[in-house]
Amino acid sequence: MRFVDEAVIIVRSGKGGAGCVSFRREKFIPRGGPDGGDGGKGGDVMFRADPDLLTLYDLRLKRTYEARNGAGGMGRQKSGKAAEDLVIHVPVGTQLYELPEDASLAPAPPVEEELETGPALLVDLVEPGQTFVACQGGRGGKGNLHFTSSTMRAPRFAQPGEPGQERRIKLMLKVLADVGIIGLPNAGKSTFIAAVSQARPKIAAYPFTTLTPNLGVVEGDMGDRLIMADIPGLIEGAHEGQGLGHRFLRHVERTRVLLHLVSAEDTSPEGVAEAFAVVDEELRLFDPGLATRPQVRVVNKIDLLSPEDLEARRQAAEVAGLPVLFMSAMTGQGVEEVLAAVWRLARPPEPVVTPDANEPEML
């Protein structure tokens, strides 16, 4: 399934059923009076965060979602049936924006800069099971039974049902993952996530093979899971939108730990620290909070280095005071050490509480 993180759809709630104009007509009961029932309520349109979904792909296939209308009222004071609500399931981490009526439904909706000065954020669905009612269904109309009075004993009218609501909704997905794998193009991010999980991203020996984030799940020894997001390669100027930077950087915002990879081919023996500085600066310019996010820095593709070059890079990292790990995602060398470091940051052990010796023992 393709990873789709943006979609624009139209949602319409159901209109309420019309009230009924009816009169009681039974043998031996002359002038039985009005007995028209009320119309049923139209269905709401709501969004629900579903942890089993990872993409907005299905919302690209269908653009219009309509809830059913409420049923009309009936005689003998019978109310019409209320329509069922329409529930649209979206991935956890989806943001909903309301667009003007003339907004396009094209696959490439407006970028985030336009959202900052245009449509307001309706809701941010960050909790599994969280729901949001986007359109309220119309109320059912009242039957003629409600309009009797001392001067109007036989009203021959009833209320129509209220119309439903319509909205154009822009959905933007920000991936919720424990670990975001970042780095320059061709740093080996896809190779790493394929080596430690069941994800099967496109891998090739040229830059920008990954055009959309890939998600992988790493299983721990105790049955716990770690969700990793392979963020497509960032380049200098990404915070200004270079190389689709904004679309990629927003997925980093919700990760707890950053796994920063650089290729051994792109580092000189003395320039290990400078190799990480390019992407670090882009993170800082995009969101200063990202610069303080816990990072595991790794030099990848060490299988391409001689033992002397590898040792020179280790010493350069120690001199710079920069904690750096070294691995080859292709051969597996050093991968376990990197995973262990990521687990420690993403799932820190809970502190062990020891009983105070001065406290009296409970019997």
Strands 214-219 and 225-230 come out as antiparallel
The alpha helices in the chain, defined as continuous H runs, are 57-61, 112-117, 189-196, 245-252, 272-286, 288-291, 307-319, 335-346
User: Mean pLDDT in the chain?
Assistant: 81
Average pLDDT of the segment spanning 22-38: 86
Residue 150: per-residue pLDDT: 85
**Looking at residue 101, what is its pLDDT?**
74
Radius of gyration of the chain (CA): 30
**Which part of the chain is CATH 2.70.210.12?**
6-173
The confidence band for 233, taking pLDDT boundaries of 50, 70 and 90, is low
Query: Please, where in the chain does CATH 3.40.50.300 lie?
Result: 179-346
- Residue 167's closest CA among 11, 300, 359, 27? 11
* CATH fold for domain 179-346: Rossmann fold (3.40.50)
pLDDT value for 288: 82
Fold of 6-173: Spo0b-associated Gtp-binding Protein; Chain: A, (2.70.210)
Predicted TM-score (pTM) above 0.75: no
State residue 204's pLDDT score.
Answer: 43
**Residues 225-241: what's their mean pLDDT?**
62
The DSSP annotation for 16-40 comes to PPPPP--B--BTTBTT--B-PPPPP
Kindly state the greatest CA–CA separation across the chain. 109
Nearest to 300 by CA among 182, 181, 192: 192
pLDDT digits (tens, 9 = 90+) for 318-353: 888 889 999 999 899 999 999 999 988 887 766 555
**Tens digit of pLDDT for each residue in 257-308?**
999 999 888 788 777 888 888 888 878 887 788 888 899 999 999 999 999 9
Q: Predicted confidence band at 361 (pLDDT cuts at 50, 70, 90)?
A: low
pLDDT of residue 244: 46
